[in-house]
Amino acid sequence: MDPSKIYNPKTLSQLTKLSPKVDWDLLVTRLLPSTAPHQDVIIVSSPSYLEKLSAEVLAQSTQRTIQAYLLWRVINEYAPALSEEIRKPLQRLTAKLRGTNAKVTKPRWETCLDQVDLSLGFIAGRYFVMEKFRPETKARADEFVKAIKESFLNRLPELEWLDEATRKHAIEKVDALVRKVGYPTKSPNVMSPVALSDYYSELVIDGDDFFGNYLRGRQWLVMKDWRQAGKPTDKSTWEMTPATVNAYYNPPYNEIVFPAGILQSPFFSGEYPDYLNYGGIGAVVGHELSHSFDNNGRHFDAKGRLSEWWTKETLEAFEKKTSCFVDQYGNFTMEDESGDPIHVNGQLTLGENVADNGGIRQSYVAWKRHYDKNKDGKENMLLPGLENITPEQLFFINYGRIWCGKSTKAQAKQSILVDEHSPPKWRVIGALQNSKYFAEVFKCPAGSPMNPVDKCDLW
């Protein structure tokens, strides 16, 4: 994705002319809070989509068809929160698409927990943090982020394909990178009951009205976003709640964010030796940091502004190097329901593959630098029963472990078609095929599948 192509400011009149079958003025007026300043300019991410939606879909469809589609969207959104009788048909459809058994359903407690996290995730996150995320864990995780950031900075002078002007800006961007670990301390402050009370003051929760809570929670989330219209950006906000098992890089904020939920086993533990933690959460940290220089993140500068700060020569070298990843991952396949091979989309998954490869490299280098200085330290103690496996090997073994998973062939096919991530199997194999350190540690013969002669290399 090229972010510069999705930044298209349009006035409401221009938008109406582009897509006349939608009453944009009515839509914005209804959603915009009465206290918000009037908004006449909207950022349109895909003008061609809206143009074709109006001309080729809405203009050529009957009113009944459009109403049926909108009704289906409502059903699809609300059915999971209603009775089993209403959920069953949707479960059968989902099972058919994923190749699973329609009789196997998610336990009700998981559904309820999902809704609590969606609507009250920061309140629930407070209790999760108090139970599962000690202050010393946060401090240690912070050190991991700092070490991998340093590793990335040390790598930049080694890259011959970067010219000096671009390298200078790249260093500035890494230096300016904001890191958020564990939970937000503003907007809201998760550890402050007063701050949480104020944050959720306009959300009404009734202990005897699950579906009402479901509706009000979604309405509150939508209105919370619309209330930001016309206001300065609040860069202290988080896009994920503390208990979320995920992480992200946010280009306009130039920040990497790691909720307390992913700072748990198997990614991270205060009880793990460093080689396991660096092979787990360390690779994730490096992954998110590398996103700031992938085919998407590279368009943003140190302050998060859309800016073409790369020279033409460096950009040409970058595109040549990334084409290697497109070809490599495009040769990986999974089987569909019929047993036929379906190829990974190397272009769709490029950003994530670049981040995986950069992440594992930066994490290994960061860990090895510390390990070589203190091999006998308690933070790198050998695990009982695994004395015949070296810490270097366990680093990579844990990297493979964090992506362990299982899916049906139908689900694997669906993921390949729409997911910007490669299948977990190829996330591991692809990154390790390109790692010279993996080949050294496991003594893979040159030219073997896990040590190809022509490795893809970027960050």
335 beta partners: 341
* 288 labelled catalytic: yes
Rounded distance between C-alpha atoms, residue 426 and residue 437, angstroms? 18
- State both tokens at 99: 């190749």
Respond yes or no on whether the N-terminal peptide bond of residue 80 is cis (omega within 30° of 0). Answer: no
Rounded distance between C-alpha atoms, residue 240 and residue 352, angstroms? 19
Rounded distance between C-alpha atoms, residue 239 and residue 230, angstroms? 19
Given a contact cutoff of 8 angstroms between Cβ atoms, the answer to whether 436 and 385 are in contact is no
Q: Cα–Cα–Cα angle for 440, 264, 260, nearest 5°?
A: 120
* Short-list 125, 100, 266, 226, CA closest to 184: 125
Rounded distance between C-alpha atoms, residue 358 and residue 152, angstroms? 9
Kindly name the residue from 117, 255, 352, 356 that is annotated as catalytic.
Answer: 356
Phi-psi region of 385 (alpha: psi -120 to 50; beta: other; left: phi over 0): left
Given a contact cutoff of 8 angstroms between Cβ atoms, the answer to whether 154 and 291 are in contact is no
Rounded distance between C-alpha atoms, residue 237 and residue 358, angstroms? 27
Exposure of 229 by Cβ count < 10 A (0-12 exposed, 13-18 middle, 19+ buried)?
Answer: middle
* Short-list 363, 364, 359, 353, CA closest to 426: 353
Could you tell me whether strands 248-250 and 178-182 are parallel, antiparallel, or unpaired per DSSP bridges?
A: unpaired
Q: Cα–Cα–Cα angle for 325, 331, 335, nearest 5°?
A: 130
Kindly name the residue from 117, 255, 274, 288 that is annotated as catalytic.
Answer: 288
Could you tell me whether strands 333-335 and 41-44 are parallel, antiparallel, or unpaired per DSSP bridges?
A: unpaired
Q: Cα–Cα–Cα angle for 1, 147, 171, nearest 5°?
A: 50
Distances (CA, A) of 69 to 63, 65, 66, 75, 389: 10, 6, 5, 10, 57
Q: Cα–Cα–Cα angle for 421, 423, 428, nearest 5°?
A: 95
Active-site residues, by number, are 288, 356
